[in-house]
Structure 1
Amino acid sequence: MKIYPKSGIDKLLFGMKQTDVIVIYGKPNKEYKDEDNNLILVYNTLKMRLTFYNDEAFRLGYIVASSPDLELFQNTIIGKNIKDLIKELSLKGISKFTQEAFDTYENYFNEDNWIILQTEFDEVVKFEIGAIINEKDEFDWKFGKK
C-alpha cells in the first residue's frame, strides 16, 4: 500500500467520509468513538485505524498503520531500521524529524508532512499520517479535489 504524503494511504484520501471508505474497503472490523467523539474505524487485515474528526463533519483526518506492505517512495518502512529509513527519506526531501522517547518506543515526527514513524529497538513498528493544515489554518482536504 502506497503512502502519499499530505494526501493519505492507498485509496484513502483525507477528507473522505465513512461511507466513502466502506464502499472501497467494506465494513470495518471495529467501530467506536474516542474521548473527543471522533469516529474510529479499524480494519484488521489492512492493519489500519482511521480517525474521522467530529469537529470536521466526520471527515477522515488521521491514519495509523502497521502493515508490512506500506511503501513510502518505493521503500517498505515497517521493520526497517530507523536510521536507514531516515537516510532514504532525506534523499526525497523529508529530512526534518523531531524525536520523542517513551519506554522502549521512539517517535520520529515530520511536521511538514504530518507523519510519525514509531520505532521500538530502532525498528519502525508503526506509521501515522495526518491531514495537513494550510496557511488559512484549515485542513487541506484532498478528497473531491480536482
Structure 2
Amino acid sequence: MELVIGKGISLVEFGIFEAEAIQKLGKPDKSFTTDAQCKRLQYFDLRLELSFEPENHNRLGWIEVHNPDCQMFGRQLIGVQQGEVLDFVESNCNEEPEVEDYGSMESAFFSNCCLELQFEFGKCSNINFGVLYNKNDEPVW
C-alpha cells in the first residue's frame, strides 16, 4: 500500500464518497460518526481508517494508516525510530513539523503536506493525512 500526499493511498483517493470506498474495499469492520459529524470507516485487516467530512460534502478527506506495510515516499515508516522518520519526512516535505508532546504520544504535523505522524515509545505508530487545499481554501481533489 502506497501513501501519496494529497492524493490518498493506492486503494482509495481523496474525494470519493463512502459508497465508492465500500465498493473498492468491501464492508468496513466498524463504522461510526464523530462529534464533528465525520463518518469513519475502519478496516481491521488493512489497519486503515477513512474519514468522510461533512464540510466537504461527505467526501473522503482524511486517512489514518496504522499498517506497517504502508510506504510513503517509497519507504516504510511505521515502526521506525522517531528521529529517522522525522529526518526522512522533513527532507521529502521540505518543511519542519510542529511537534506536540501529549505524554504517552508525540505528534508531528507538517502543515504544507497536511500530514501528521504519531509516535509512541519513540517509534512511528501511525500516519494521518488529508486532502490538500488551494488558495481559496477549497479541497484539491
Within-5 A mapping of 1:1-146: 1-141=1-141
Quick one: distance in 1 between partners of 2:49 and 2:66? 9
What SS does the corresponding residue of 2:112 show, helix, strand or coil?
A: coil
Quick check: 2:78–2:125 contact (8 Å CA) kept in 1?
Answer: yes
Quick one: distance in 2 between partners of 1:73 and 1:116? 15
Quick one: distance in 2 between partners of 1:137 and 1:55? 12
User: In structure 2, what residue type is equivalent to 1:4?
Assistant: V
Quick one: distance in 2 between partners of 1:21 and 1:136? 27
Percent of aligned positions that are identical: 26
Quick one: distance in 2 between partners of 1:94 and 1:70? 21
4+ residue segments displaced more than 6 Å: none
Quick one: distance in 1 between partners of 2:137 and 2:92? 26
- RMSD (Å) for aligned C-alpha atoms: 1.2
Equivalences, count: 141
Quick one: distance in 1 between partners of 2:113 and 2:93? 10
Quick check: 2:64–2:126 contact (8 Å CA) kept in 1?
Answer: yes
Quick one: distance in 2 between partners of 1:115 and 1:92? 12
Q: Deviations over 1:38-84 (max 9, x none)?
A: 21111101111111012322100011111011101111011001111
List alignment gaps of at least 5 residues for structure 1. Answer: 142-146
Quick check: 1:86–1:95 contact (8 Å CA) kept in 2?
Answer: no
Distance verdict in 2 for CA 1:39–1:93, change over 3 Å: closer
Quick check: 2:11–2:25 contact (8 Å CA) kept in 1?
Answer: no
Instruction: Determine which structure has the larger helix proportion and give its number.
Output: 2
Q: Normalising to structure 1: TM-score of the pair?
A: 0.91
Q: Deviations over 1:113-133 (max 9, x none)?
A: 111110012200011001112
Distance verdict in 2 for CA 1:37–1:91, change over 3 Å: closer
